Amino acid sequence: MSKWPVLLLASFLFLAPGTAKATSLQLPTPDTKGGAPLMQALDARKSSRNFTAKPLSDKLLGDLLWAACGVNRPDGRRTIPTALNRQDIEIYVLRGDGAWRYDAAGHALEQVSTSDLRRFLGGQTFAREAPATLIYVSDAKKNSNAQYAAMHAGSAYQNVGLFCASVGLNNVVRASYDAAELAGGLGLPESKRIIISQTIGWGE
């Protein structure tokens, strides 16, 4: 018997249910000249639970993720401050086509699951129907201080809230979700902890 079928079977057995194969999506270069002026974005910033299922374009999602914690300097530093530049925050995007991790250094999305994990976002229907929810995760191997982790995630979701206000998107920060199911679906190791979520989309 050829060794190849055995190897293929072994590879299949070690894939968790819903785990994505190596799939990546290169995002368009961020538009750092777009959006409303800062003071107008601050004036328009608000939380909203009114969403349609209209998808976000790759360009718009890429700009949003860059605003959240993208690289904005040649030395790799980010659009948000982190204590001692620990850069512990990771952002996962939940969509109908699965879950994706934002690779800030490469400005790309890497698929971590083909399952629609929005079903674990609690009992509010809008969160399961909106086109995207961001999951903010802190890596304890880079930062073991829970207070710092919360501060870093807050900086990121505030950036996203201002970005949404500048382009006309709705958003709401939410702590209602099944953290254990999400962590399992995303394949998070014990060192990575979910901090908060943020639902994004167009209003009606």
32-51 pLDDT, tens digit per residue, is: 999 999 999 999 999 999 99
pLDDT-based confidence at residue 18 (cuts at 50, 70, 90)? low
Per-residue pLDDT tens over the stretch 24-37: 999 999 999 999 99
186, 112 contact by CB (below 8 A)? yes
The arithmetic mean of pLDDT across residues 4-16, rounded, is 38
For 36, the token pair is 């409303």
Per-residue pLDDT tens over the stretch 149-172: 999 999 999 999 999 999 999 999
Sorted by where each starts, the structural domains of the chain and their CATH numbers stand as 3-201 (3.40.109.10)
3-class SS at 122? coil
The residue among 200 and 21 whose pLDDT is bigger is: 200
pLDDT-based confidence at residue 52 (cuts at 50, 70, 90)? very high
Say what the alpha-carbon torsion angle 153, 60, 108, 131 is, to the nearest 10 degrees.
Answer: 70
Cα 60 from Cα 38, distance rounded (Å): 18
pLDDT computed for residue 8 by the predictor = 36
pLDDT computed for residue 122 by the predictor = 94
pLDDT computed for residue 11 by the predictor = 37
Q: Looking at the DSSP assignment, which residues form a beta bridge with residue 133? A: 94, 199
pLDDT at 5 over 50: no
- Per cent of the chain over pLDDT 90 is 88
pLDDT at 128 over 80: yes
Candidates 101, 113, 97; CA nearest to 194 is 101
State the average pLDDT for the chain: 91
